[in-house]
Amino acid sequence: MGHEECQAVNILEVNDLHTVFTTPRGVMRAVDGVALSLRAGETLGIVGESGSGKSVLGRTITGLIADNATTSVSGSVRIGGHDIHALTQKARRRLWGPEVAMVFQDPMTSLNPVKRVSTHLTEALRLHLGLGRKDAYERAIDLLRQVFIPDPTRRMTQYPHELSGGMRQRVVIAMALACDPKLLIADEPTTALDVTVQRQILDLLAALASERNMATILISHDLGAVEGRTDRVAVMYGGRIVETSDTARVFANPVHPYAEALLASIPRIGDAPHTVLRAIEGAPPNMLTLPTGCSFAPRCRFATDRCHEEQPELRELADKGTTHVGACHFPLLPVHQEVS
Amino acid sequence: MPSEKRGTRTPHRTRDLVIGAVLATAGLGLAVFGWSTSLLVLAGKAALVLAGLVLVHQGVSRVLQALRGRRTDLIFIVSVVWLVGLILLALLAPLLPLGEHSDVATTLLEPANMAPRLLTDHPLGTSSQGLDLLSRSLHGARTSLMISLMAVTIGTLVGGSIGVVAGYFRHGVDSVVGVFTNALLAVPPLILLIALSTVLDPSLRNMALALSLLTIPSMVRLARANTIAFAQREFVMAARLMGASRFRVMLRELVPNVILPVVSMAIVMISALIVAEASLSFLGLGIQQPDPTWGNMIAEGEGGAMEDYPHIVLVPGAFLFLTVFSFNLLGEKAQKRWDTRSAKL
């Protein structure tokens, strides 16, 4: 299907994206000026606390969240050259599946309890690829095999409640892959699963992405999940990206105090017993009443008056000439660099 | 049924069998005696019959438990048997060799107000005009069941689809639908029916339409609430992300989920509608004499007839009671079984 594909062009380009909800309690800027780009085969991790806007960002990128009476979306999202938010609902539907697909958080609720596994998988195949009943069935079994579900022929006839959590998430992934999407958005795909299963699912996603040269966004609050499996990572706070770079660089030298605090709060298995876990003081900001300055300022150890008044823009903070950017007036200096 | 295979027969199987059989026969004897004795007043007879039936129930339950090795819901089985039997007999009523049910001219020679005598031509007795009560009850069942089933079907289809649409689209559609359902719920049902009956002539179709108006608002609410609950699940979003249109999402994703609670509600509603139809006919606003319905048969007991010939009221009353009871039981079972919230799917 991808004959018009062009190597140099990014699969996903997001520019100055804003998602604003008008709620009865006020205006909520869930996504506030986000820019992203992603090439084929590349994996981007989006991390942040609950309520930082990660999921809304993911859903706005797909176009599931679009302009309506209470939601306003501005900026642009281009997937494979199509400006998602400029399209009609009908045109957008044609992209869902072959261009962009999504894996949701809870496999308990992302499968319809009254539909068999086979129905879940074949519907999209028949709709988008125009396959016949029998071809779609064969293709669905093949998909189940690709996500390593044992005995796929039997699984096809089962209902979601007959499968385990990990198995269900595999079915959800198979559904997302059904039409060979160029971009896959995984919105906390492992939060609802057991720890042992989490790893299997994450590895499966990573393997499938590289096998298919698929651009992937992995949304997670689990930094461990993101660390080894993404090329780049973006840290979100209060609806904005506060730091982004290659994953290894961010994990080694966080420049934004929030990213640094987030990383410091991961418990390490090598820590001595009874090591006090580091937590970030305070609570995530109320998205309805974001402060005027840096939204992290109220919780930041280094905040000054300037931080409370002036919103920092994303700029190159650490090593010059790299893509390591952060939004902070007083970035932490990378350990290996000298103070000038 | 795996529980049967476990082989956990009760340890006192033979004892239970004997006790059960004794209880059942004693109960049966008591009931028959209570029914046929002429020594007691009506209340005493009724008490004896009831006590006998309770004993029979206990006895047969025990026997069944001893035989099958697990508890059986005897009342539920009896209800289902009653409903199936009643529906079959009602369907076949014109073909069965029953007495006359509506044409008074042919019953001039029949005994009037005859009390039930099981082994005669009129096992459930006759009315004041010599019409056969069994025949009238079964023909009444035709009308009652037909009207309430039609009304429930209309109400479920119309109310259910309005509810799903309102629950899925929310906003504007929802508020308009909300105003209408609340307005409809605010009118007392009997008053609404009486008002409607002044405009509509009491035919089968009009009765069904009028009664369906009673079911629509609660169906809308139920379908709407369930739709909202299911629409928030991620499978709806997943379906949309696979390119499903709104219509398809409603039809293929939501309706199959919403239909279970709606259908079990519909079964419970049948009984309410049977009662409503009977009330209307009792008041003379429903199906008119000489066509029988349970309501207008009970109404024949007015004006002192009931005091002298209680069976004129008791026979249709028993039909009404047993049918409503059975539908309620069936509906409750269905709700327990199909309530997705308790099933945690």
For A246, which DSSP code?
Answer: E
- Going by pLDDT thresholds of 50, 70 and 90, the confidence category of residue B84 is very high
Q: Which residue has the tokens 């509603």?
A: B269
B41 domain-assigned: yes
A112–B234: do the CB atoms touch at under 8 Å? no
Span A91-113, pLDDT tens digits: 888 888 888 999 988 888 888 88
pTM over 0.80: no
Using a CB–CB cutoff of 8 Å, tell me whether B243 touches chain A: yes
Q: Are A134 and B252 in contact (CB under 8 A)?
A: no
- The region, left, alpha or beta by phi > 0 then psi within -120 to 50, assigned to residue B233 is beta
Using a CB–CB cutoff of 8 Å, tell me whether B251 touches chain A: no
From B221's Cα to the closest Cα of chain A, the distance in A is 22
Q: Which chain A residues have any C-beta within 8 angstroms of a chain B C-beta?
A: 59, 62, 64, 69, 93-94, 96-97, 100-102, 104-106, 109-115, 123-124, 127-128, 160-161, 172, 175, 178-179
From B13's Cα to the closest Cα of chain A, the distance in A is 37
From B344's Cα to the closest Cα of chain A, the distance in A is 9
Could you count the other beta carbons within 10 Å of the beta carbon of residue A278? 13
Nearest residue of chain B to residue A177 (CA atoms): B242
Peptide bond into B290 cis (omega under 30): yes
Decide which of B72, B92, B112 is a domain's last residue: B72
DSSP 3-state of B2:
helix
When the pLDDT of each residue in chain A is averaged and rounded to a whole number, the result is: 84
- Picking from A64, A114, A161, the nearest residue to B241 by CB comes out as A64
Same domain, B16 and B144: no
B324 domain-assigned: yes
Strands (E), B164-261: none
Same domain, B225 and B316: yes
pLDDT value at position A338? 41
Using a CB–CB cutoff of 8 Å, tell me whether B256 touches chain A: yes
A64–B252: do the CB atoms touch at under 8 Å? no
The residue among B262, B259, B260 whose CA lies nearest residue B251 is B259
A227-263 burial string, b = 16+ CB within 10 Å, else e?
bebbebbbbbbbbbbbbbbebebbbebbbbbbbbbbb
Could you count the other beta carbons within 10 Å of the beta carbon of residue B2? 5
B242–A94: do the CB atoms touch at under 8 Å? no
CATH assignment at residue B282 = 1.10.3720.10
- Going by pLDDT thresholds of 50, 70 and 90, the confidence category of residue A141 is very high
Q: For B37-61, what is the mean pLDDT?
A: 79
B122 domain-assigned: no
Split into its structural domains, chain B has a count of 2
- H helices of B37-73, in order, are 42-68
- Dihedral angle computed from the Cα positions of residues B88, B94, B99 and B102, in that order, rounded to the nearest 10 degrees: 120
Sequence spans of domains, chain A: 236-340
B322 domain-assigned: yes
- Going by pLDDT thresholds of 50, 70 and 90, the confidence category of residue B33 is confident
Decide which of B27, B43, B72 is a domain's last residue: B72
User: Measured on CA atoms in the order B14, B16, B20, B22, is the torsion positive or negative?
Assistant: positive
Using a CB–CB cutoff of 8 Å, tell me whether B341 touches chain A: no
Q: Are A297 and A308 in contact (CB under 8 A)?
A: yes
| Residue range(s) defining the domain that contains residue B177 | 133-343
Chain A CB contacts of B253 below 8 Å: 112, 115
Percent share of chain A, pLDDT over 90? 12
Nearest residue of chain A to residue B260 (CA atoms): A114
CA B181, distance to chain mean position in Å, is 25
Same domain, B252 and B137: yes
Same domain, B48 and B168: no
